[in-house]
Amino acid sequence: MTEIRPNLPVDEQLSILKRGVVDLVSEEDLRQKLSRSLETGQPLRVKLGADPTRPDLHLGHAVILRKMRQFQDLGHKVIMLIGDFTATIGDPTGKSKTRPPLTIEEARANAQSYLEQCRLILRSEPEVLEIRSNGEWLEQLGYKDIIGLTAKYTVARILERDDFSKRLSAGTPISMHELLYPLTQGYDSVALEADVELGGTDQLFNNLVGRALQRDYGQEPQVVMTLPLLVGLDGTEKMSKSLDNYIGISDEPHAIFAGLMKVPDPLLANYFTLLTDLPQERIDELVAGHPVEAHRVLAREVLVWLAPGADPDAAEERFRSVAKGGIPDDLPEVVVDAAELNDEGRVSMARLVVLAGLEPSNGAARKLIQNRGLKVSGEAYTDAQGWVEREQLCMEGGLILQKGKDKFKRLKME
């Protein structure tokens, strides 16, 4: 872990913090806050709010978490705000319809996994990390408080939000609770007295609402910083687990390495800027050179900070071996229960793919097989209706399933 550098000059802090940023409202405000922090020794309070709608994080989330870590390394306190309460409302940001809300229990269960993964990137010292839940204050608001909050913002200003205006023009219904969401998120900044709020570019409007509300409540307005949404491995849409174009931040080192070797060439400069600390001159040199070497450097640089205990040489060696058609020795094993067998002592290959965790359902497994995305013990498997005998699962070494380039599982029956 790098040392905390609380006394770095303002210009140097700004140079670090502005890297990769899309929106900065405003740079002059941030400069003033950083200068005052140096003079008083009082760290800035830097907020990132997240509704824990999913329990797993990927490198797209890591872009903002890295920016938080930069603030921490400069001696400032970051506030990881878990939106357990706002997750029960449902934010439609970037969506054409209402996002289904979660129960408070679902949100808090997801939050535990979320925080564990955040700590892979963030420092944990209490002087630079504060973990809060917006249920602390939002659950306490009464009807009079809510009415008072809504009085501080007009309907016209709320409808300026891009997704709201598009839905209004298209005649798509907008529920009243959705109109309240930006105000609710903005009130979080008031409750926390945030100096800075981070978010993706899709959160710019909501974060600016927080800036406006702070002014209405007599606080100094927060600085708003947004970072780009990382494009996924398909090269077309933002990184997303549902689109299967992601790299998980808690994936095995070899899987992270293999995933980064698949980044489309046109996205290399963006990935280098957002996911490494390499200087721009070195990035330009790598992008202009051989793409394989650029991918290799990218993969190793990301592993250094994301999985500090990992051996980049071992991850690279495994990648090269698998790329040549090899099968690694240290495969995760799945023991198949005998109850999975039918009366004839067989189990469908689709079911085995699901048991291996390579697909979520039999239908998805059959689609994988039909698309020639599955190998069994190194050979392409194309029979979507195929069956596997007990003897095959009981043989020495079991049955090795492979999805894509580097997702292996060894299935055995004892």
**Binding annotation:** 241
Contact 332, 410 (CB under 8 A): yes
Pairing relationship of beta strands 374-376 and 387-389 according to DSSP bridges: unpaired
Which DSSP letter does residue 105 get?
A: H
What is the CB-side half-sphere exposure of residue 81 using CA atoms within 13 A?
A: 30
- What is the Cα–Cα distance from 364 to 360, expressed in whole angstroms? 7
Give me the residue label for tokens 């004839």. Answer: 344
Backbone angles phi, psi at 389, to 5 degrees: -85, 155
Burial label, 398 (beta-carbon count in 10 A; 0-12, 13-18, 19+): buried
Contact 236, 106 (CB under 8 A): no
- What is the Cα–Cα distance from 328 to 397, expressed in whole angstroms? 12
* E strand intervals along 170-271: 196-200, 223-227
Which DSSP letter does residue 266 get?
A: G
Annotated binding site for ATP: 241
Indicate the residue type of 236. Answer: T
- What is the Cα–Cα distance from 120 to 117, expressed in whole angstroms? 5
What are the tokens at 17?
A: 């913090």
Q: Which of 296, 298, 280 is nearest to 59 (CA)?
A: 298
